[in-house]
Chain A
């Protein structure tokens, strides 16, 4: 029986789809062929669809694991068979995954972890949206590490950012967290599914050096980036991986401060050196703005409405939407802070990106915030009140 292509599988090409569906389609277009997951609201549909589609495709496998910890473990293992792999979860599951996220960082294993945020902490409000995992995505796992986190705000963007997540993971050998939220996951919008030939895919750094000279964690053979060549299991090149501090041969080297520093700094540098390539954001009405409303994900939808309302009323308000959350786009923040009088950070949490904005604008301008929790999407009218000059919150939630 003939195996269909991804294009044949994903029909029709114009759909009224949910955010979760768009993530699945994007992953399949990006050649993801292994998914391991655990049911959790509001991410369960991603697992369900993958269980339905992956077996149909060539060498596609999908498994429902016994918990989120093993789901992430399974996709890290499978990634070393030259598979593009993904898992999906929400807050409570994301908390469980933190240890293995650190492991993926330490072994520089590419994989995509979808976190469809819901209101927390703990079991919280499973069916309500929130943006409370922003700092956790950056710092959830212990120790010095660096990850990439992306956050779309529309169904169409869900599809494209999923593809980008896989590309960045492979290019920089890092786990990429794709953030979403309960509203975008379950809302429906027009989705145009591209043909696979129109999707650009990045590749892992190929192994070019002789077998005798191969060291799994040495960089700079054929390119000057700090990303090591990545082999796979099951061939004549032997790769040893460990979560312990290791030298370039991947042998444990826990006694050397020098080796540790060199290794961990390289984790930072391989991302930090390539900020230009990685960071994306969207700006509107910025040129003459005096106040800039910053937001991301679901809140940015209503934030934009408020900004456009304000412009109609003649107020010089601009809009900045973060698409790459980590690494954090501090250059644009610093640049704008010198031109404007105030940032207003709109988030569905009690202030997480707010602190980064404050850190990078220093004393150049005021930084105010609009926080909406409990599953309440920030209302444009309320944001307008803040724009028009509502009181500045001076509680410091740290």
Chain B
């Protein structure tokens, strides 16, 4: 494992550092983890494209020495779809936030999962719209006060990983910024997966969120209040876990953060199937020509 100094020199546009992120921001940690994952896998920077939408997490591509495209709000995955389809050999990584992904971008997210496009989506979920000051987002837990829910949030929150699982993603992992090594391993697994991979990382937002006063309080919260789901148990338990989706939001799990590798299966990717489609189209063309 290379040192931070070496990694910064190799992968970051050092002239832009320090980043614009606030003290203790999860985005910086996720940048750290992503670069380490890429380095461990020996992925060439020539073969990488970072795609992002709008928000704090979407500022990440500018810092990385690689091709990057900082697009419009919620549409990163649609841009990434076009990029990946026309060059399936590229490693396409999407940085997005909970607002960018689950509000305005929800449809594009679920459709890309459905199509099993081979991109890796890293969602920095701080349960708020951080860049604009802390408004409620589709992942803000019910009951929380935010700047657009001054009388408490009365809307229930999505669990983005479960959404991805329901839409059919072959790799879904959910961690917090405190689970350093697990995040790195999941990003590596995601990059190696042929189809769609989704890594959701619960992150702090020390400035816009009012949950805690200091960044280190978030760190302790993440370390103490998480409940880990593991798929490496017998079938009965996994089945109960999935059947008990609702229980995750009530009873013992209420207020806890569920982490773990939610899904890890094999499924034919869009590109594999498109390759077969192209063969079929050629067959039909020549068949019709012969007539």
Contacts and interface: CB of A to CB of B under 8 A. Distances in A.
Interface of A: 1-4, 9, 33-34, 36, 52, 55-56, 59-61, 63, 65-67, 69-70, 73-81, 83, 85, 99-100, 103, 107, 233-236, 238-244, 251-252
The 5 A-B residue pairs with the shortest CB-CB distance in the complex, in nearest-first order? A74-B82, A77-B82, A70-B78, A73-B78, A78-B82
Contact of B107 (A66, A234, A236, A240): A66
A252 B67 CA distance: 15
A65 B115 CA distance: 10
A304 B47 CA distance: 55
Nearest to B83: A77
A56 B279 CA distance: 8
Contact of B86 (A56, A81, A241): A81
B236 interface: no
B256 to A, nearest CB: 34
**Among A59, A74, A100: residue with most chain B CB under 10 A:** A74
B80 A242 contact: no
Contact of A238 (B66, B85, B108, B282): B66
Given A4-B285, A55-B277, A67-B107, A239 B67 contact: yes
A66 B113 CA distance: 12
A52 B111 CA distance: 22
A173 B170 CA distance: 38
A33 B85 CA distance: 11
Given A56-B281, A234-B90, A252-B59, 19 more contacts: A1-B283, A4-B285, A9-B285, A33-B86, A34-B86, A55-B278, A66-B108, A73-B71, A74-B78, A74-B81, A74-B82, A74-B85, A75-B82, A76-B71, A80-B67, A99-B72, A236-B46, A238-B68, A240-B69
B72 A251 contact: no
B79 interface: yes
A244 B61 CA distance: 13
B96 to A, nearest CB: 13
Nearest to A1: B282
Given A66-B111, A234-B67, A56 B83 contact: no
A76 B82 contact: yes
B68, B87, B89, B111 — which one has the most chain A CB atoms within 10 A of its CB? Answer: B87
B81 A243 contact: no
B70 A36 contact: no
Contacts of B257: none
Contacts of B51: 77
A27 B61 CA distance: 33
Nearest to B85: A61
B87 A81 contact: yes
Contacts of A80: 67, 69, 83
Nearest to B284: A56
A242 B278 contact: no
Given A80-B69, A234-B47, A243-B72, A63 B79 contact: no
A392 B209 CA distance: 63
B87 A234 contact: yes
Contacts of B111: 65-66, 70
Interface string B79-113: 11111011101100000000000000001100100
A67 B104 CA distance: 13
A242 B49 contact: no
A215 to B, nearest CB: 12
Contacts of B285: 4, 9, 56
24 contacts: A1-B279, A2-B286, A9-B285, A34-B86, A61-B274, A65-B81, A67-B107, A70-B78, A73-B79, A74-B79, A77-B78, A77-B80, A77-B86, A81-B83, A100-B72, A100-B75, A233-B49, A238-B67, A240-B67, A240-B68, A241-B68, A243-B70, A251-B13, A251-B62
